[in-house]
Amino acid sequence: MRRITKVVAYIVRDGRVVVFAHGDHDTLALAGLQVPAGTVKPGELPEDAVLREAYEETELPGLRLVRYLGVGEYDARPSVDAVHVRHFYELAVDADEVPERWTAYETGDGAHDPIRFDLSWMPLDQAHVLAFGQGSHLGRLFD
């Protein structure tokens, strides 16, 4: 079984966190509510990867790393024969104005057709509903 290094971004502002759903692809629509996350590229530091992934998936300007929240493992089987080693981070947005709801398109460096992300802000006390165990480190935001 493969071990894949991943990053997960909790972009927090005013007691809320950025979440998204996929709106234009039947299979991805089944994925539920998520936060920005992705794979660390070879030679890339996790703290660089989380900023890259967060921007690629949200297009929010002024993203800033606040702190590292820890690491956890997620067994992705049976959909993928892999364990994801996830590094969780808190991020902030240093922009005067941010939308309440918006759409962004991630292109994967041109490796695939654009994937639509329908984004919004969710109160932190409701974010336990995140898919794929992505909410596992939310409590650490209150430490």
Q: Over the stretch 22-77, which tens digit does the pLDDT of each residue have?
A: 876 655 556 789 999 999 999 999 999 999 999 999 999 999 999 999 999 999 99
Q: What global pTM score does this model have?
A: 0.93
112 pLDDT exceeds 80? no
What pLDDT does residue 119 have? Answer: 96
**Judging by DSSP bridges, how do beta strands 2-13 and 16-21 pair with one another?**
antiparallel
Give the CA count within 13 Å in the CB-facing half-sphere of 56: 19
Determine the pLDDT at residue 102. Answer: 96
CA-nearest of 122, 138, 52 to 88 is: 138
- Residues 71 and 86: their CA atoms lie apart, in Å, by 5
In angstroms, how far is CA 46 from the centroid of its own chain? 13
C-beta of residue 72 within 8 angstroms of C-beta of residue 25: no
pLDDT at position 31, please?
Answer: 74
